[in-house]
Amino acid sequence: RGDERGATPPYPASPGGREGLFGHADRGSGDDASGGNDPHSFWDKTFGAGGAAANGSKPPSALSPAPSDWSAKERASRGITLDGGGYYDADGPVIRRGANGATNGASGRARRHLGFDARQSFGSKAANGEGFNPENLVDPTVLQEAVRQYNSSGGNTPNSRPDSGRVAPGLGPPNGPMPLGVNQNGGPGHRRRASELSEQDYDRAGPQPGNYPPHRVGGMWDTMASQVSEYAPLGDPSPLSADMSRLGLRDPADIAESLARDGPALSWKLDPMADNADPDSPPERQKEYIDEAEMDESTHGGSRYYGDDSQSLRAHDDEIATRKDQLWRLSSSYLVSDVPSIQRSLVQHVEYTLARRRYKFDRGSFYQATAHSVRDRLIERWTDTQQFYASRDGKRMYYLSLEFLVGRSMGNAVSNLGLRGAYAEALRQLGYDLEDIMSQEKEPALGNGGLGRLASCFLDTLATLNYPAWGYGIRYKYGMFEQRLVNGKQVEFPDYWLTYGNPWEVERLDVKYLVRLYGEVNTYQDEQTGETRFRWEGGEVVVAVAYDTPIPGYGTYNTNNMRLWSSKPSHEFDLTSFNAGDYYGAVEAKERCESITSVLYPSDDTDSGKVLRLKQQFFFVSATLQDVLRRYKKRIVPGRTLKNLPEKVAIQLNDTHPSISIPELMRLLLDDEMLPWDEAWDITTRTFGYTNHTILPEALEKWQVPMMEELLPRHMQIIYEINHRFLQQVEDRWPGDNEKMRAMSIIEESTPKMVRMAHLAMVGSHVVNGVAEIHTRLVKSRLFPEFDQMFPGRIKNVTNGVTPRRWILQANPAMAGIFTSILGPGWVNDLRRLATLKPFAHDDTFQHSWNEAKRLNKERLALWVKANMGVDLMTNAIYDMQVKRIHEYKRQLLNVLGIVHRYAVIAGSTPEQRARMLPRVCVIAGKAAPGYEVAKKIIQLACAVSKAVNNDVRCAGVLQVVFIPNFNVSLAELIIPASDVSQHISTAGMEASGTGNMKFVMNGGLIVGTADGANIEIARAVGEDNLFCFGATADEVAALRNTMKSRLPVNDERLQRSVRMIRSGVFGNPDDFSQLMDNIEPANDYYLIAHDFPGYLDALDVADAAYLHQPSWTARTIRAACSMWEFSSDRTIKEYAEKVWQMEPLPFKPPHHQDGGGGSMGGGGRRGPSFNGRGSRAGYDGAR
């Protein structure tokens, strides 16, 4: 920000003009130190490292002022919580951070914290100066004494500190310590802390940009934390600890540990002792991980060159070394990420990559240019990370999922790289707004609902936690579909998300695999062993082409990969047919092949649709397994064979869709690698893990045996053999028990026979996991009880989680800003820290900030609805939401019936009664599968009710209903933070886990729900009084279904009135909804909608009554949101790594940085403008 207020700081100068304990410098009256009459100056200088840009240079871009024309709402919506020309990016630098005061106890300290931030964020009463005196929060005497003790002890030199057992080499120039604020030539310039901090301290203290001073690089918090942790054992008392304790601050050892582990993104440092060090240039990158053997192969046609004599060999090796050095020097530094460098990158991409005019104001072009610019910085980390993984030879995990609902990439990328502030400023100076640019991105249509979003959360977390892992899936050309509402009905349109290309992906035309379909299986004799072998031949061959997308971690250099496959024909064009006049026949094979990856979940109402689905699944797992084996065999060293594959590779099946990979891996090992059956089966079962996501019969895929025999003849042979050997084990365990044999057989004896893919996954995996405690219990007791008996301990529980990077930091910057302003950014990677805020749930100022953040999120949603749907939503109402895939078991119909009841009550009330009612906005969103007519009728009814309610004057100011079409990740990021109440009301026992429930509570909403899925665990975590539960339990559901045709129906007049309104035509043609109403008749109520309706209304009434007591309600939401650490995907992935994959993280730190403390980030750092670092330039095949 650059505080150029020109006054003397109100605290003592350190001896010799050096910076003291709190990072300030006595630079004399000629310097531009802050101070004087500005009420912020003391706060800034004490807690923000102080000091303006030397020589009048521009401050770092990430700390630049927010545009003066931004309103308070705009600032808060972007995570900006500071006025006076500065800002606090929710995922960015701490510009002004409040400190815990030394008096009045913890509550008083929190009030001072929050009062400060509330004033800056939301224009509260403190905005007029009332009660805002930060200089009174700290005793100057304590500060003076702390500074005196610190400097008199020689505290600015590393050798004066007690050693903690770690080597702390001095980095100062030969003539002794260099005063801060003085460059190596003795004059004012780059204020680097080279003299008093070790390498580790550099890494913790923040970026040292090449072109700017280290303005606000963390100040007291980071400096003290790094110095204490470096020179005093963690937990040991020290004079500095005592001083901080007297100041009412957190324990410095705790700060050091948190910052070292996952603190704010820290940039590369400049090494002042490096040869030819240039403070204005990024340092060079190391060459440690470059694969010389790969260079040799690329030169000599795939085989390593060996000369005829030692002299020739030496000459050849010298040639390789020279070429390696030459290639490395051509790109020996990471890209600089200060504002001018980013702007040059943007303009160059507009002009050279896109071949467009840079002078034309075109947001589409600048989106593409910005994406390419960010991708450039991603690719550096990406290739380096992959080459690092190869050099460490650790175990890798490959996550196979038919869906990856990734959402927009730009916001996530700049946030995880720590460059949001830099790019925002770079674009602002060019006349663009980062938020507007990000809105130009077309959301990738690679998933449908919770399954795909969970997979994407896992990829984010795997990179953040430094696990070497790749995701594999399909690059759908049209996605599932774009949902539009035409006359209140869902209509499906192709989702042309690739119309303008996808700048985030890298097409790998050199990574291709042949995938065979149909054909026949022939036998032959192995000449060496005499065994009978099988060869799959003929049929149709499809080419799988790889498309790679970098997945960056947050607070780490590690960047993993998502590889998606696109189908291409093996023969592009039939010229003979074309010349014969058969123009359509000439491209028929091309169209047939490309249709495999055209659409997610093609309708399986027809046999051709079923065949296409099976083709999709086999296509992507075959290409994936060929790729996995190729990558593994590249790493084989002497003494290692394919028998060791499970020690180096773990493959996780995300639901039943990829389970065909088990016989495919067997085929590759048996037919291509010539392994014996027992050895191949042992490798297969120890490699695979299977995650079950449902116990619904229709979701547990089964394929007709005749169809599989035609499409995948070799695999059907292998499945028969797997089943034969497995049933022999069952017979040995339970002799003569035909019922056990029938229940456990992979082949279902029906007409026609079916292959049970879930049984195949169960038999072929070493671990099978459910995704919530109740779901895992049901998997054991209902779905696989016999398997649980036969393989005790194989079925485990790993409860789902969601990434707070996407669902708090990015989706809810206003709330994230509150958390960061108090706790620092470390909470993003450790949600347990939020629990420290629960004692302040009743604090008035905290509640004010919290409620203002909620209000801003409601206004943000209301603006979108107004602009896109023409409905002007109330913002002074309770926001009641149900957004998820439309399905009968999720019971959106129950919600709609409840809204109809509320509408009837309002219509029958007097104006005076309506005036006393709690205003309510009901939001519903979700897609129905194209062939799921009942679900589409539920959408039609919801739209009809919305139309009637919103056009009835009696509902004005009391009730509004909207169905938001084409629900996706971006809309979820807009909707979820605005919720007060969210409904997760599935029939108990039918929802495996759910992840929407986690996202809503993390964002300060409470749940109305059933005892199903993760609701049970959420209630335990946040307190059962903070979840409004109703309905039959999972254990009761089965009994109720068995008796529904004989027991007395639930006779609730409220339900009967709602049904009568629908059947009488209040909401349109009653024939359109007759099937829905028939399905809830007592004898047909399979999903127990009628049974649970009274309890549902009661739960809503309890929630409404609680909402009316706003202080109590706000306290509930605060405590709930701060209790959700168990539902972070970070916890989930750590459990998978321990229980299923048995793998360790491999944090990538460029070589010069590996001895430093804490995981740091490059890419310019969240606090600085430059990506100043050294690292290795990975070999190309590191990414391949």
Active site residues: 693, 884-885, 890, 995, 999
- Tell the burial category of 1166 from Cβ atoms under 10 Å away from its Cβ (0-12, 13-18, 19+): buried
Beta strand 920-925 pairing with 1006-1009? unpaired
Residue whose C-alpha is closest to residue 1120's, from 741, 745, 705, 837: 837
Residues 398 and 786: their CA atoms lie apart, in Å, by 29
- CB-based burial of residue 1165 (10 Å sphere; 0-12 exposed, 13-18 middle, 19+ buried)? buried
| Residue 348, number of CB atoms within 10 A of its CB | 15
CA–CA separation, 1114 and 851 (whole Å): 7
Cβ(1170)–Cβ(211) under 8 Å? yes
Q: Are 138 and 102 in contact (CB under 8 A)?
A: yes
Q: CA angle, corner 952, sides to 946 and 953, nearest 5?
A: 140
Measured between alpha carbons, how far is 961 from 1085 in angstroms, rounded to an integer? 26
Cβ contact 738:749 at 8 Å: no
* Adjacent-strand bridge partners of 546: 508, 565
Distance between CA atoms of residues 266 and 345, nearest Å: 22
Phi, psi values for residue 1095, rounded to 5°? -65, -35
Measured over the CA atoms of residue 910, residue 911, residue 917 and residue 919, the dihedral's sign is positive
Can you give the C-alpha Rg of the chain in angstroms?
Answer: 32
Query: How far is residue 224's CA from residue 244's CA, in Å, rounded to a whole number?
Result: 9
Instruction: Residue 961: name the closest of 1033, 915, 896 by CA.
Output: 896
Question: Is 347:360 a contact under the CB 8 Å cutoff?
Answer: no
Query: Which region holds residue 1121: left if phi is over 0, alpha if psi is between -120 and 50, else beta?
Result: alpha
892 within 8 A of 926, measured Cβ to Cβ: yes
> What count of residues does the chain have?
1184
Quote the CA–CA distance of 226 and 205 in Å, as a whole number: 6
CA-nearest of 320, 309, 262, 245 to 287 is 320
Number of DSSP helices (H) and strands (E) in the chain, helices first: 45, 22
Structure tokens at 1088: 């127990």
Beta strands in 604-745 (DSSP E): 649-654, 688-691, 702-704
Answer yes or no: are the C-beta atoms of 858 and 128 closer than 8 Å. Answer: no
> Would you give the end-to-end CA distance of the chain in angstroms?
42
Cα dihedral 387, 389, 390, 391, rounded to 10, equals 90
**How many angstroms separate the CA atoms of 261 and 239, rounded?**
24
CB of 1151 within 8 A of CB of 288? yes
Reduced to 3 states, what is the DSSP secondary structure of residue 157? Answer: coil
Q: What does the alpha-carbon distance between residue 642 and residue 689 come to, in Å, rounded to a whole number?
A: 18
Among 1024, 1016, 1011, 982, which Cα is nearest to 1088's? 1011
Best CA proximity match to 821, nearest among 30, 93, 230? 93
